[in-house]
Amino acid sequence: MALTLYGGARSRASMVLWYLKEKGIPCHFQTLDMQAGEHRQEAFLAINPFGRVPALVDDAFQAPEGGPLKLAESGAILLHLAENYGAEFAGDAGRAAALRSLSQQWVVYANATLGPAMFQAADRPDDLARQLAVLNDRLSHNTSLLSGTGGPVPWGAADCAVQSYLAYLPMFCSGVDLSPYAAVQASIEATNQRPAYKEAMGSR
Ligand SMILES: N[C@@H](CCC(=O)N[C@@H](CS)C(=O)NCC(=O)O)C(=O)O
């Protein structure tokens, strides 16, 4: 099995890198010089025609057109890793299916709902506030987003996706007052202290 992750400096690839490091999954990280437009060159467009990072090549799986599987979109990559390398969806078939579905829900939520709310925080502050209130309530009961699903759950793709965005809050939404969300603040602090997170952020 060989995995290659393509990313650039301060890109969403660091989210995937964090997951890989947290789970101890070996992967070659290929840094693209995005300032120089390497992500728009032929060689990378053959991996992701959209010319965006992250992208993953996994030679343990075959692409429908032949050759190794090539995947784009941070959420799809996280879910692929969770399914095939992360040992996340354990238990009997019913529980495993529920964990998988909930994991998909949180990963899609992070990319499609939380991320956009953060980027539009100045125009639609109420949307982000509503989401932070729900997340704060959720995180004040459990540190893992999949907790409460009838047994222990390892840290996983759901936590990685949501916590990655939350950790960006103080940076990207510096105008948002986080003081009403103590559990969100605590979880950002906890993320910043995780050795794998620090390592991923340091090497992106
Ligand atoms: N929804 C995509 C977004 C990918 C994306 O926009 N990546 C940025 C870097 S964070 C990029 O490659 N930008 C290059 C460009 O737009 O030219 C994902 O989550 O992977």
Question: Who lines ligand 1 at CB under 6 A?
Answer: 11-12, 39, 51-54, 73-75, 111
pLDDT score for 202? 84
Closest by CA position to 5, among listed 60, 71, 64: 71
Say if pTM beats, i.e. exceeds, 0.85.
yes
pLDDT score for 10? 87
Q: Quick one: 131 and 30 in the same domain?
A: no
- Domain final residue pick, 84, 110, 142: 84
Q: Quick one: 116 and 67 in the same domain?
A: no
Q: What is the CATH number of the domain that holds 24?
A: 3.40.30.10
pLDDT score for 152? 79
pLDDT score for 65? 93
pLDDT score for 203? 61
Q: Quick one: 76 and 109 in the same domain?
A: no
pLDDT score for 142? 80
3-state secondary structure of 52: coil
Let me know: does 197 contact 176? Beta carbons within 8 Å. no
Q: Quick one: 113 and 195 in the same domain?
A: yes
pLDDT, averaged per 10 consecutive residues of the chain (204 residues), comes to 93 97 98 96 98 98 96 98 94 90 97 97 94 96 81 91 97 93 97 96 72
pLDDT score for 70? 98
**Residue whose structure tokens are 């991320």:** 115
Closest residue to atom 3 of ligand 1, CA basis: 73
Q: Quick one: 34 and 128 in the same domain?
A: no
User: 53, 78, 81: which to mutate for ligand 1, most atoms within 8 A of CB?
Assistant: 53
Instruction: Give the span between the Cα atoms of 170 and 118, in whole angstroms.
Output: 10
Q: Which atom of ligand 1 is nearest to the CA of 73?
A: 20
Q: How many domains does the chain have?
A: 2
Q: What range does the domain containing 35 cover?
A: 3-84
Cα-to-chain-centroid distance, residue 182: 22
Q: Quick one: 130 and 52 in the same domain?
A: no
Q: How many angstroms separate the alpha carbon of residue 195 from the centre of ligand 1?
A: 25
Q: Quick one: 99 and 77 in the same domain?
A: no
User: 12, 19, 30, 119: which to mutate for ligand 1, most atoms within 8 A of CB?
Assistant: 12
Q: Quick one: 60 and 151 in the same domain?
A: no
Q: Quick one: 147 and 69 in the same domain?
A: no
Instruction: Give the span between the Cα atoms of 180 and 42, in whole angstroms.
Output: 48
Q: Quick one: 120 and 193 in the same domain?
A: yes
